[in-house]
Chains A and B, each alone.
Chain A
Amino acid sequence: MVLRRVLVRAAWLLASLLLASFLIFAVANALPGDMAQILLGTNAAPGEAEALRERLGLNRPFLVRYLEWLGGVLQLDFGNSYIGNRPIGPLIAARLEVTLSLTILGMLLAVLVALPIGAYAAARRRHLDGAAVSALSQVGLAIPAFWAGIWLVIIFAVQLRWLPASGYVSYWDSIGQWLLHLILPVISLALVQGSVISRYVRSSVIEVMQEDYFRTARAVGWSKTRALVRHGLRNIAISLLTVIGLQLATLLVGAIIIEQVFALNGLGSTLLRAVSGRDLGVVQAIVLLLVWSVLIINFLVDVAYQIIDPRLRRAAEAR
């Protein structure tokens, strides 16, 4: 029964993936500004733009170009970039490492910080310190990631000179340098994410603490922490998973801006450059990658629910 539900969800997923690809292609092609003209810049001779459009195949019908593109994508061939004329697949693969490092570490740090903070704020919610923690997370929520990033750079890179202000070193070249270069961007991302997640953690911990099973555990002499860890974690995990799934899209958007602030050459900066240069092939490929990953992650979160929460599983089986 679980399998059937998963299959239905998978069918929906496929449909949304396809629809997304069409929308992305259509929007990218509707962007104002002519690519041939941008490639030639302010040195174009009359007629040169038209010849270039012809050479790039931009004059062919929309649907033909879409199907050709989709066919290529399904074989993992994204075509060549117009700027520099290089294969897009490897180009994006190289940028993926930067963005993945940034978002994964950002989410990891956010969760690691949010869990104890949220739990603390919940456990001490009737005390001044608990309320203060809760208020602080509210403040963290309001800070834009790029603003935090700029301040972190001013303090830790420019004034103290402890950390590099920008740039990226590959994990495979030097793990130490990789981490060193990622500390500030990851903290700026995690600040907001951590605040969001800690608020969810807080409310779900409060919920758990009001449950009968928690009170029973406390009554038989378990400590608050032990009762929370043994009984609460699974319940908290569900709401945590939902938030993480939802926040992932925000995190990716945040990463685009953070990459600019820290001159990290990831998907975000590549996307922004491609948009301003109207390198449509690159724009489409990156947006497709981002949208598809969000769709797939949401699907996986859905599936994970079924596994984590026996109630959902049983409810489905009863039907």
Chain B
Amino acid sequence: MIDVTDLHKSFKTRERGEVRAVAGLSFHVRAGEVYGLLGPNGAGKTTTLRILATLALPDRGTVRVDGRDPVADPIGARERLAWVPAEGGLPPRLSGREVVRLFARIQGVADPDRVADETLDRMGATPFADRPCGDLSTGMKRRVVLARALVHRPAALLLDEPTDGLDVMGRRDVLGLVRSLAADGRAVILSSHVMGEVERVVDRAGIVAGGQLVAEGTVAELLARTGTATLDDAFMALVAPP
């Protein structure tokens, strides 16, 4: 469903010169699978997701989303994916219902208002759907953002740090929603730098550091490989060996 092969991406910065954000990253995510793209800040997770989301261009390598090339055919790829940025990206003065209905219309959904309302309901966002997004709590915003992302029933879902800023209850809610989205047959990539909270949700995880894949497998495989008890410890063993 989602293929990333030998992906490279560098940025030029004034302070640090050329920075290699992604350096030869490859992984594959199947339909119905939640794939955790895990790594510390600056590991290249967001850059990889932005390339998949058609927001950035790779220097080298290939990416495919449901068979579409986000570089050569961005419109085709955008029809099949949904991007949930870490910032949320909700206009503060529009209501959640207005936003989701607008996205449904632009995505070409048949009967967009009804589908938008149903999606908001499925995400548990109906009680606050008519309030301006700027007045919502972080957890409420996440639900609206997920509704916006899912309104056109995308085949692939790209979630960048979806639990950032959420309290314990909010985190549990959002991760539960993520699990149910994969159960519908979607390929879900979830990036996070908090290992512990995603280990119950992901089917497989790729540990990324310095723009490269350090290890990949199910949580059990990663724990067995490192001889550790938690994903946090496994990560430390892989990325920062003693």
A, B co-complexed: no
- Residues on A lying within 8 angstroms of B by beta carbon are none
- Chain B interface (Cβ < 8 Å from any Cβ of A): none
